[in-house]
Structure 1
């Protein structure tokens, strides 16, 4: 035998006990001394094993008590068996209740000995064992059970706890994992129910009148039971052949009641657990036992949402198993139809919220609740069950009653992300492990994490945490709870669930027949083509295909809500193909339903945005939040663009290649920002002014970066710095900060030679930069073109592309025409050399805002030019009243009114010194130069015309100034995006605004001002 502890080794014992983990070394020392005096000295290896226990002090007390109840050979055997030395302290260090069982039944230590100690008993072996304990023949239990005397019930409980001891020995030494432990506990409960039913048959004389099946519910049904838990059941009965139903139900009710007593009655060995039949139809108010037909009728007509959720875990566990299977065949299919009920998802979510609210009101222990508290077991179970019920209608692989198995299936099918599923599974195992450890201590039903340090220390050590058991356990538990809560809220309140739940079952399955029928009903023009897209996206067994099978039934409805469902589905397939196996894409659509819905709306409404997304499909991530769709500031865009230029310059490449690469990156930035802005516009998140400002920022940043790239290239070619400074003056809509999606960038180039520079050399360098900028931006690229139009410069196309500041001054002093002064009203030197831009602005301000206004000759000339433009520039064959730019009451009308007021009064009214049309109108109203009502009319007409032009570009992907009248889908798309109930409403509203605006134009621009 190993070396024994004896009193003569006392001097080193206390320190050793403390090192081993005993918290009361003095008491442990006394116990060891008493054991030695009683002839039961503790061997050193046993003492080491006790030190490895979760609570060495508790283990030692239990061991000494056990040894005191054994004879000498058994005592020696306990200490000599290496397996027992491992398993017994592990059990005794966690469970005082099992220590008490061993004190009453010391011979039961043998279940921890030998090869059998690590072997898992099957359900049949457990059933046979417990039937034998109550005197029933496992082969024919009906006539052979003893009655429910105390001795019989004591024998049942003793046998039950002997199996718990055997299981705990494997559990606490890591031989059985949490899934195996929970399944075996459920099998043991089923065996106890069978034994209890055998006892009940001995008590009920007319038991032979009926067939009785016991349906396990909850954790028993799901084979994931705790060590101590109520066992939820439902009873179903049928009369035996030739027996009356009424008599049979009476006998079955007596049998069920007797079974419940056999399991829950208190004896000297305690009770097993409560048998809870409250999940039956009508709950405690309903009959304890029903026939199969009665069950079916109830669930077909009266059952509530939570009752179907409860049935998800139903499983025959005892009694007439054939009848139990009949019950499952009759009731089971109803479970998977429940999610289609009115407000099913909302009902489940509301029920969970009520439980949480009640918990917080009723107990101060809510935050320490492993089961019902935030981030607890129920959070995992409810999320898994709701996903099962919604998606399990169409996917039978999800129909497991076991939480971990169902979670694995949900992950495999793509309904839950791998990381989320792994996080939930890990947390669930941890929480169940802690729950088991709590319940093993006293074999009492509890789910509350204690706050006593000693209890926390025992829990931590049982989990293998030894450095700081209390602190490490608390941190680990809180981390798991936070993770569960986060994932629960993402999954349980996932809006996609509601959309999927509302689909008819055949549509949720997305079979070809159902899809073809639905596509036609939804308004797809080419159902066959759409079906090919669907099959391409969903065929196969890949995770991508599985997620698509979940998404597409819902997204088809969203595509159909748009004006062009076929284009939406085609775009979705193209984006999905482009992103391929990108891991985040489908996960984003599944987990963030806002993204999926927005994507469907955009793809089915806008050719412009779809093209942008196809060229940069990763931009779909922007759809997640409103903040991601807000226009970025000019400063942020410029910083990013210039940084891209610098990186390419620093790469040390060939000058031309460096410039082209830099501008390619900047154009990619522009493409991304156009997508951001267009989606925000389509979703109604931006107004007209914001769109104009943002488009101008995007264009000016692009030109600024291209200008810098061009300068870098020319300087590399010249092998020295430029001999001049360059600025780019934004003109027209760009200068007015009111660009549209299809607008050109009207600009003028100005340069100013450096002191001492040769003017011809400076002019050549500036011209080379301007031409290089135009070349770089005109290169073929996968994005909407940015046309640089310099034709508003002095002398138009006949004049030099670039002029010096002095040349501009000379020209405007000598040759400037009224139209050029008018054009300068929207000149804004916002690109290039800032100081030169400031000087250019100072040069043109007196020209566009003349001190004395304009004379009658200039006024007549401006009016003549306006009339000429109306008659000559309007395209032939178009309906003038539908032309948003040049038609009566259109953009041009409003802008000429604003510009005339600026030319006449800007010198004296500071508010008119702006390049922006709406700001000029506001200033004119404030100065009393324009009637307030007229200002509102002009502003409203200008904004509506601008919105229509922008929306036309978004819908068609091509610019247009005409209201759509000949293409139904385009007309419908523009109408829907602008928020009108019908195309006739849009046309009528535009005409009304245009008529009112034209009346103001005729009075203010052509007649006398008020």
Structure 2
């Protein structure tokens, strides 16, 4: 009976100790069988520490009730006096209803939890074999198995062993059980046992020493005839023994089942014979096995039966396992198999699927196994069947980043712990996270989450699943894996002789120098060297797929020397998408991009960012440049900072251009060369405009502080104003100013001239960067005229003295820096000159034609081939641009779409207005784009500007690769250029020189 007043006190204590049904718990505590335990605060504290105090108390009552009267006193005394035993027993009872059922059926088995010896903490196969030794039939084997399982669970829930040790103990118990079952089968059929040698090979989690509480135990059976026995009869006998072993473990008895033994991983699966000879296994694997079968064999481990035969099997199949990555489409096959697993999960279960779902255990296991199989061919440290051991080896070898490995390890342990505790509750094979509040609460508390356990569990589970999913995508689908898998084992080991021959075969002109670079990069035992040894075989192939492999490898060594101590550099190349291939393409494509990168090596990070190769807009660039200038101490430091931004962004533009022009495995060659030219032209123009804005700000700050006495604007001309700059183009400009209110015009003009002089000085300071030269020769009166004029002076000059060539030059005038309003008003001033009302008169047209003919005869360099000069030659840039500009000046007043500073949009507008037929427009556009790309290619390849094809064979081949011509097709490239520009010249002759 409960005394008055006691219930409310006990009720509150039970609530504080985590009981969800305190009334029911009170009734159980009042039972006569618990009289010896009633009121003991130690017991109540111990119950409150369990995952489910209500479940633990119910299990305890059942266990006490099951004790015979003489043993009950011993049990209760031990429970109250021995804390380790109390924690173990109640921990199990509060986590596993199934093990509570076992204890109720076998009430003396609690005694196995009393001992607390060192061997008990970490038992192995031998200890478990002793625990199963008394079993002489399937029923007693199940009882003994559950008794051993009781000890594993007790150590697990009390934290004596971690999740990996628990999984290993479960695998060792499975090993001992398979041996016991085989012994029972052999005893039942001694004649069969005498005829054959039978080996049981554990696969899957049992083979990998990482078994669950409840899981199919995957096995393969290998049989051979005993000495003097007939092979066919021996295999029949072995098959009967194997089938009997499977029944002993799998069949349900009054004591339930142990676990199903699954032999479906054998050759031909369910359709194949249960037992094969070793030679039959090998014949199958050599001829018929699929990729997934070799992946499964990674965990193969002999566990029972004939040990010599089992070892012989593993020794024979192991080389096949580590050669599997050389199979055609190996990586894509493994990736496709993982996707199929996810696709086959029922939609209603996918969000609860702890094992197979996205971010689940299988994501970790597949990623680790794929990395093992690809890299394990040449690194035996990766030959482990255990996921966590293999992950640690991958991290130690540099194949996975330490931080990534640590996150995966933590997530895998947490998810496996969840899986263990879910299965432990009723000892049922499941990987679904429960949905009920009580189940989730028990699960969360069993993992140590005591404050709001349901919410905490969901938060931790989702966090770890998110980490797994992210890293799975990063590791499992990274391009470098497929490239490494395609190498032969010899290619992954850079031995001197073989590497020298391989380098020469790949097209390296100086194999000896290349070997020195490889030795410097990959020698030693450091983690850096280990990662380089993974990267280099693949990079060598990518370098070889260029016109100058030697330059690519040398550039890689220089970049690695500059960044080798930077922790993110090699990690980026190994892990982040196509960064390694992008770097290889950039380094082996010519001099400009590598030179830029070596002066700003941290820019290599751009290559690993999916958004990194997109050009930045002018507003973004100008904001960054002006901020850098504002932080600098003086004008020269300010321009140096602006140049730093320009250097990085010029590399970004060049790298994107090269990668899109060459193409990579993940990103094929861009099919629209015009889009590439437009992107480069726009990006370089915006970049130079931002740099000039920075130089202007630096010049003003040096003498006047925040405000110049006169408004000042820089007007872009030529290809600068047309947003068509190439990598080596000068920036043609005009300078215009307007005195501020109250400022004398002469004072304003002196200030404007000083600013221009300082800007030019700053931009001409010696530097290793590609120069940014500003050319003001298109100003009124050319070199003889003043550098800077007021807006009113420009108006007066153009009104009285302007020549037709100046009106033509103004077609490309566009504000680029300085006072935006002043720049806009300058454009409004010159619009009537460049788009004259009524069009050009006949005399003006004849003058433009005379100027064009004079330029062709006088400005083409001596000795230059007029059919191959991209700027001034036949059908080149000048031909197309003068033709388009003539159309603009004649018709721009009537056709608004022609009023653009850009050549290609103006050409398109002329066609749209019916001024040029479609075929002729396409011909001119193709020639202009090709000539622009040739000039860009020459700058990228040689590192200095040029208007003609290089004469050096390697440089010419590199230009060809940029333009889409493969090795040995440079002559075809030159012929195509002549053909395309010849057709363009014919159109120019018709449109420009004829009415």
Q: TM-score, normalised by structure 2?
A: 0.93
| Match 2:515 to one of 531, 541, 551 | 531
User: Are 1:210 and 1:239, in contact at CA under 8 Å, matched by a contact in 2?
Assistant: yes
Instruction: Quote the Cα distance in structure 1 between the aligned partners of 2:258 and 2:95.
Output: 19
Give the alignment of 1:804-819 within 5 angstroms: 804-819=790-805
Alignment of 1:634-713 (within 5 A): 634-648=618-632, 653=633, 658-682=634-658, 683-684=660-661, 686-713=675-702
Q: Cα gap change, 1:905/1:356 in structure 2, threshold over 3 Å: closer, same or farther?
A: closer
Residues 943 and 315 from structure 1, CA distance in 2 versus in 1: closer, same or farther, beyond 3 angstroms?
Answer: same
Q: Which of 178, 200, 224 is 1:238 aligned to?
A: 224
Cα displacement (A) at 1:212: 1.9
Corresponding residue number in structure 2 for 1:141: none
Q: Which position in structure 2 is the counterpart of 1:179?
A: 164
CA deviation after TM superposition for structure 1 residue 625, in Å: 5.0
**Aligned counterparts of 1:22 and 1:904: Cα–Cα separation in 2:** 93
Worse-matched range after superposition: 443-452 or 120-129: 120-129
Instruction: Assess, with a 3 A threshold, how the Cα gap between structure 1 residues 370 and 754 changes in structure 2: closer, same or farther.
Output: closer
User: Given the superposition, is the C-alpha separation of residues 253 and 722 from structure 1 closer, same or farther in structure 2, using an over 3 Å criterion?
Assistant: closer
Q: Which moved more, 1:775-784 or 1:857-866?
A: 857-866
Residues 763-808 of structure 1 deviation map (CA, whole Å, 9 limit, x = unaligned): 3221111011011111123421101112222333333322333443
Map 1:439-458 onto structure 2 (within 5 A).
Answer: 439-458=423-442
Secondary structure class of the residue paired with 1:317: strand
> What secondary structure is seen at the aligned counterpart in 2 of 1:71?
helix
Structure 1 residue 308 displacement after superposition: 0.9
Residues 61/810 of structure 1: CA separation in 2 closer, same or farther (3 Å cut) = closer
**In structure 2, C-alpha distance between the alignment counterparts of 1:751 and 1:771, rounded to whole Å:** 14
Mapped to 2, the partners of 1:860 and 1:983 lie a distance apart of: 40
Give yes or no for contact 1:891–1:946 (8 Å, CA) kept in 2.
yes
Which of residues 28, 33, 46 is equivalent to 1:31?
A: 28
Q: 1:918 to 1:461 in 2, by over 3 A?
A: closer
Q: Is residue 280–residue 288 contact of structure 1 (8 Å, CA) maintained in 2? A: yes
Residue of 289, 292, 314 corresponding to 2:278: 292
Partner of 2:982: 995
Whether 1:585 aligns to 2:569 is yes
Aligned pairs for 1:448-527 (under 5 A) are: 448-527=432-511
Q: Say whether the 8 Å CA contact 2:717–2:731 is kept in structure 1.
A: yes
Q: Is the 8 A contact 1:35 1:41 kept in 2?
A: no
Structure 2 residue aligned with 1:137: none
Find 1:914's aligned residue among 900, 915, 931.
Answer: 900
Per the TM alignment, residue 84 of structure 1 is displaced from its structure 2 partner at its CA by: 1.5
User: Does 1:736 pair with 2:722?
Assistant: yes
Deviation of the 1:367 alpha carbon: 2.1
Query: Which residue in 2 is equivalent to 1:598?
Result: 582
Equivalent in the alignment of 1:549: 533
Whether 1:77 aligns to 2:78 is: yes
Once the two structures are TM-superposed, the CA of residue 185 in structure 1 deviates from its matched residue by 0.9
1:97-136 alignment to 2 at 5 Å?
A: 97-116=98-117, 119-130=120-131, 132-134=133-135
* TM-aligned CA distance change 1:355 to 1:937, over 3 Å: closer
1:943 match: secondary structure: helix
Of residues 46-55 and 243-252 in structure 1, the stretch that sits farther from structure 2 once superposed is 243-252
Return the match for 1:54 from 34, 51, 54.
51
1:940 matched to 2:926? The reply is yes
Matches of residues 893-932 of structure 1 in structure 2 within 5 Å? Answer: 893-932=879-918
Q: 1:903 to 1:123 in 2, by over 3 A?
A: closer
Q: CA deviation at 1:511?
A: 3.4
Contact between 1:35 and 1:42, CA under 8 Å: does it hold in 2?
no
1:907 Cα deviation from its structure 2 partner:
4.1
User: How many Å apart are 1:131 and its aligned residue?
Assistant: 5.3
Q: 1:120 to 1:746 in 2, by over 3 A?
A: same
Match of 2:565, SS? coil
The CA deviation at 1:814 is 4.5
- The match for 2:19 among 18, 22, 35 is 22
- Offset at residue 370 of structure 1 (A): 1.7
Which sits farther off after the overlay, 500-509 or 814-823?
A: 814-823
The TM-score, its normalising length taken from structure 1, stands at: 0.92
Q: Check whether the contact 2:714–2:735 (CA below 8 A) recurs between aligned residues.
A: yes
Larger mean CA deviation between 292-301 and 675-684 belongs to: 675-684
* In structure 1, C-alpha distance between the alignment counterparts of 2:943 and 2:804, rounded to whole Å: 36
Does structure 1 retain, via aligned residues, the 8 Å contact 2:573–2:608? no
Counterpart selection for 1:827 from 791, 813, 822: 813
Q: Deviations over 1:511-541 (max 9, x none)?
A: 3344323212211111222222222222222
Structure 2 vs 1, CA of residues 845 and 304 (structure 1 numbering), >3 Å: closer, same or farther?
A: closer
* Distance in 2 between residues matched to 1:901 and 1:253, nearest whole Å: 90
Partner of 2:91: 90
Name the CA shift for 1:94/1:755 in 2 (closer, same or farther; >3 Å). Answer: closer
Structure 1 contact 714–768 (Cα < 8 Å) conserved: no
SS in 1 for 2:244: helix
- Using the alignment, how far apart are the partners of 2:861 and 2:602 within structure 1? 40
Shift of residue 634, structure 1, vs aligned partner: 1.9
Task: State how many pairs are aligned.
Answer: 975
Q: Counterpart in 1 of 2:667?
A: none
**CA distance in 1 between partners of 2:772 and 2:22 (Å):** 84
Q: Partners in 2 of 1:929 and 1:156 — Cα distance?
A: 96
**Structure 1 pair 309/939, CA: closer, same or farther in 2 (3 Å)?**
closer
Distance in 1, matches of 2:196 and 2:153, equals: 38
Measure the CA separation in 2 of the matches of 1:862 and 1:544: 63
Match of 1:44 in 2: 41
Distance 2:839 2:129 in 1: 109
Q: 1:202 to 1:906 in 2, by over 3 A?
A: closer
> Which of these residues, 175, 181, 191, is aligned with residue 196 of structure 1?
181
Cα-to-partner distance string for 1:831-869 (whole Å, 9 max, x where unaligned) = 222333234334433444444655555444433332222
CA separation of 1:8 and 1:262: change in aligned 2, threshold 3 A: farther
Q: Which moved more, 1:873-882 or 1:509-518?
A: 509-518
Separation of aligned partners in 2, 1:943 and 1:159: 82
What 5-or-longer segments of structure 1 have no aligned partner?
A: 135-145, 147-151
1:281 and 2:291 matched: no
Task: Classify 1:249/1:897 alpha carbon distance in 2 versus 1 (closer, same or farther; 3 Å).
Answer: closer
SS in 2 for 1:368: coil
Tell whether 2:993 aligns with 1:1006. yes
Counterpart selection for 2:64 from 55, 67, 73 = 67
Please give the alpha-carbon distance, in whole angstroms, between the structure 1 residues aligned to 2:906 and 2:93.
87
Contact persistence 1:439–1:446 (CA under 8 A): yes
SS of alignment partner, residue 119 of structure 1 = helix
1:731–1:747 contact (8 Å) kept in structure 2? yes
Q: Does 1:325 align with 2:311?
A: yes
Alignment partner, residue 974 of structure 1: 959
CA distance, structure 2, for counterparts of residue 876 and residue 345 of structure 1: 57
Q: Deviation at 1:187?
A: 0.8
User: Does the 8 Å CA contact 2:37/2:43 hold for their aligned counterparts?
Assistant: no
Which whole-Å CA distance do the structure 1 matches of 2:881 and 2:373 have between them?
60
CA distance change for structure 1 residues 763 and 53 in 2, over 3 Å: closer, same or farther?
same
How many Å apart are 1:163 and its aligned residue? 1.5
Q: Deviations over 1:148-187 (max 9, x none)?
A: xxxx333322222222112222111111111111111111
Task: Map 1:142-541; keep pairs closer than 5 Å.
Answer: 152-206=137-191, 207-360=193-346, 364-541=348-525
The 1:7/1:332 distance shift into structure 2, 3 A limit, reads: farther
- Over the aligned positions, Cα root-mean-square deviation in angstroms equals 2.4
* Cα distance between partner residues in 2 of 1:483 and 1:63: 40
Aligned partners of 1:240 and 1:248 also within 8 Å: yes
Contact 1:395 1:509 in 2 (8 A): no
1:217-244 deviations in whole A, cap 9, x for unaligned? 1111111111122211112222333333
Answer yes or no: is the 8 Å Cα contact 1:6–1:41 preserved in 2: no
255 and 871 in structure 1: CA distance in 2 versus 1, 3 angstrom threshold? same
C-alpha contact 2:474 2:577 (8 A) present in aligned 1 = no
Alpha-carbon shift at residue 668 of structure 1 (Å): 1.5
**1:754 matched to which residue of 2?**
740
